[in-house]
Amino acid sequence: MANFYTDNPDLKHHLNHPMMRKIVELKERNFTDAEKFDYAPFNFEDAMDNYDRVLEIVGDLCGGIIADNAEGVDHEGPTLKDGRVTYASGTQQNLEACRKAGLMGMAMPRRLGGLNFPITPYIMAADIVSRADTGFENLWGLQDCAETLYEFGDEDQKQRYIPRVCAGETMSMDLTEPDAGSDLQSVMLKATKKDDGTWVLNGVKRFITNGDSDIHLVLARSEEGTRDGRGLSMFIYDKRNGGVNVRRIENKMGIKGSPTCELTYKNAPCELVGDTRMGLIKYVMALMNGARLGIAAQAVGVSEIAYREALAYAKDRKQFGKAIIEFPAVAEMLSIMKAKLDASRSLLYETARFVDVYKVYEDIAKERPLTGEERQEMKLYKKLADALTPIAKGMGSEYCNQNAYDCIQIHGGSGFMKDYACERIYRDARITSIYEGTTQLQVVAAIRHVLSGTYKNLIETYAAEEIKAELLPAKERIAQMAELFFAAAGKVSEIKIQAYTDFMARRLVEMAGNTIMSYLLLSDANRNDSFNRTLHVYLNLAESEVEKHSEFIAKFKPEELEYYKA
């Protein structure tokens, strides 16, 4: 039986990144938990060994039960009866196995029943789970919501809800409504404060992943008469109290095991999280960033399985007297798939590390005032995380779709049949570039970092890193790409026409992404020779993309925008 962690040495490479020492030492606060909890680590090496061992459990479950159940879950799907959802039998087994293995609430502190894992190893688990069953990753990955409760809930709420999540109860984030998708400011679900000071919810939500969960985080309008985001607050709804029913389960193209629900709230009792009016502008924004990183991880997992399925088939399938992998056209596709996979994975873990640093500082700030230096660092990493998250999600999900497409292509006619996993992978991949903000919205989130120079500063930091001599030519090529990106960004920001900037945004963000991912792969190859091949394949791809965008931007005249109006 395969172990999806140990069979993939790239994961250990990313887990053992030099920056982990800083993250772990901050996260574990000088390892003081070791006196209170018998499963807490004594030092950095001990903590790293813990992550390794727990990821081995994740890899074992994923390579066994979860991967084995994926096809059955896709066929069976969840069912609805009397307003309640029943998961597919395979989903139930998967959840039970994850509960028994203690893999829920991984990033929560020990005092609340969690494993106190940094985001990076948790995201690695998400990457592994997604390779086994992308739809199941949704359900399992909703433990993310506990992070929002931990950040913004009061101590009493943390004590009441988080241990339940760690014990295996599932969560959902009830945001979307029929008329409020990407535009969450339009949320209309009504929260009413009763005379006794408690709140109730009334209205409808749509497209809610795992909508029949045990504990819901709900975005609702608490301020009557308001119409924008400032009238929205966040609430906790506990299924034990009743009042929310599932009206229907959507019939989806992919991730079929994950129930997507329409919910009706009828005087559903709930409790306020944090302050009123902060629901969207503060709490959901934080929740979404975490969720986007989760989707980036999900996308990498899909890229991984798409690549592996394609590779296995190409080695096995013989035509014209030899395995099809021996044909250059197929070999090139596989090399590019691997390069996209590796590039998006390197970006995923870089982003996760940045998130780790600032989140730990935010948490420490609850215990003691940060020093000036620490505050500076927190701000820097928060900005970097905010800048990298939309690229990791946006480009990572596009790459995973491309890999899923190529996976089918390599399977040829067989790939079009329902007999191989690749058609499920293709369907499952499709949502990653849509939910938690479409690729187009990721561009909107990222473009300000192009114009404000966040990416430029980061790229210059990478450029200043020492690299071994044999990689210097590669480094020089990346520096050239960076110059093209800086010049294009300069040109676009000089022409101060909003429609023109919006039009060029995707190209600029991709140029930033191509350059950053190239530097990250350079750093990977510097640490580990096994990344040499992928570095060069990606470099060829990224360079041609950056040059293409550079040419386009250089030649394009703002008056041509007229041709693109619908």
Q: How far apart (Å, rounded) are the C-alpha atoms in residues 152 and 66? A: 33
Nearest approach, Cβ of 29 to other proteins (angstroms)? 17
Nearest approach, Cβ of 24 to other proteins (angstroms)? 14
> Of the two residues 26 and 97, which places its CB atom closer to other proteins in the complex?
97
Residue 218, phi then psi, degrees to nearest 5 = -120, 135
Site for other proteins in 277-306 (CB under 8 A): none
Nearest approach, Cβ of 102 to other proteins (angstroms)? 4
The number of residues in the chain equals: 566
Binding to other proteins by residue 100, rule CB under 8 A? yes
> Of the two residues 115 and 517, which places its CB atom closer to other proteins in the complex?
115
Q: How far apart (Å, rounded) are the C-alpha atoms in residues 441 and 393? A: 10
Q: Which residues pair with 85 in a beta bridge?
A: 80
Specify the pairing of strand 244-249 against strand 260-273. antiparallel
Query: Given candidates 11, 24, 40, 542, which one binds other proteins under the rule CB under 8 A?
Result: 40
Nearest approach, Cβ of 134 to other proteins (angstroms)? 21
468: CB partners within 8 A, 6+ apart: 526
Helical residues (DSSP H) of 142-280, grouped into ranges: 144-152, 155-166
Would you tell me how many other CB atoms lie within 10 Å of the CB of residue 444? 17
Could you tell me which stretch among 102-110, 237-245, 369-377, 512-520 binds other proteins (CB under 8 A)?
A: 102-110
Binding to other proteins by residue 163, rule CB under 8 A? no
Could you tell me which stretch among 35-43, 482-490, 502-510, 538-546 binds other proteins (CB under 8 A)?
A: 35-43
Binding to other proteins by residue 115, rule CB under 8 A? yes
Tokens of 311: 């590779």
Q: Which amino acid is at 352?
A: A
Binding to other proteins by residue 102, rule CB under 8 A? yes
**Rg over CA atoms, the chain:** 23
If binding means CB under 8 A, how many residues of this protein chain bind other proteins? 18
Nearest approach, Cβ of 239 to other proteins (angstroms)? 24
Specify the pairing of strand 199-209 against strand 260-273. antiparallel
Binding to other proteins by residue 38, rule CB under 8 A? yes
Would you tell me how many other CB atoms lie within 10 Å of the CB of residue 90? 22
Q: Please give the angle made by the CA atoms of 155, 156 and 157, to the nearest 5 degrees.
A: 90
Burial grade of 306 (CB within 10 A; 0-12, 13-18, 19 or more): buried
Nearest approach, Cβ of 108 to other proteins (angstroms)? 12
Nearest approach, Cβ of 209 to other proteins (angstroms)? 24
Helical residues (DSSP H) of 528-557, grouped into ranges: 532-555
Nearest approach, Cβ of 352 to other proteins (angstroms)? 19
Q: How far apart (Å, rounded) are the C-alpha atoms in residues 390 and 437? A: 9
Could you tell me which stretch among 93-101, 186-194, 321-329, 398-406 binds other proteins (CB under 8 A)?
A: 93-101
Nearest approach, Cβ of 98 to other proteins (angstroms)? 9
Nearest approach, Cβ of 3 to other proteins (angstroms)? 12
> Of the two residues 137 and 238, which places its CB atom closer to other proteins in the complex?
137
Q: Which amino acid is at 463?
A: A
> Of the two residues 125 and 333, which places its CB atom closer to other proteins in the complex?
125
Which helix H or strand E contains 208, and what residues bound it?
A: strand 199-209
Binding to other proteins by residue 39, rule CB under 8 A? yes
> Of the two residues 28 and 174, which places its CB atom closer to other proteins in the complex?
28
Q: How far apart (Å, rounded) are the C-alpha atoms in residues 107 and 231? A: 31
Nearest approach, Cβ of 25 to other proteins (angstroms)? 18
Nearest approach, Cβ of 475 to other proteins (angstroms)? 40
Q: Which amino acid is at 141?
A: G
Q: Which residues pair with 199 in a beta bridge?
A: 193, 270
CB 41 within 8 A of CB 28: yes
Site for other proteins in 41-70 (CB under 8 A): 41, 49-50, 53-54, 57, 60-61
> Of the two residues 39 and 552, which places its CB atom closer to other proteins in the complex?
39
> Of the two residues 84 and 100, which places its CB atom closer to other proteins in the complex?
100
Task: Name the residue among 384, 375, 376, 391 with its Cα closest to residue 356.
Answer: 384
> Of the two residues 99 and 383, which places its CB atom closer to other proteins in the complex?
99
Q: How far apart (Å, rounded) are the C-alpha atoms in residues 140 and 171? A: 9
Query: Given candidates 26, 67, 73, 103, which one binds other proteins under the rule CB under 8 A?
Result: 103
Residue found under tokens 């091949």: 533
Binding to other proteins by residue 106, rule CB under 8 A? yes
Could you tell me which stretch among 97-105, 171-179, 260-268, 371-379 binds other proteins (CB under 8 A)?
A: 97-105
Binding to other proteins by residue 135, rule CB under 8 A? no
Query: Given candidates 23, 97, 146, 171, which one binds other proteins under the rule CB under 8 A?
Result: 97
Q: Which residues bind other proteins (CB under 8 A)?
A: 38-41, 49-50, 53-54, 57, 60-61, 97, 100-103, 106, 115
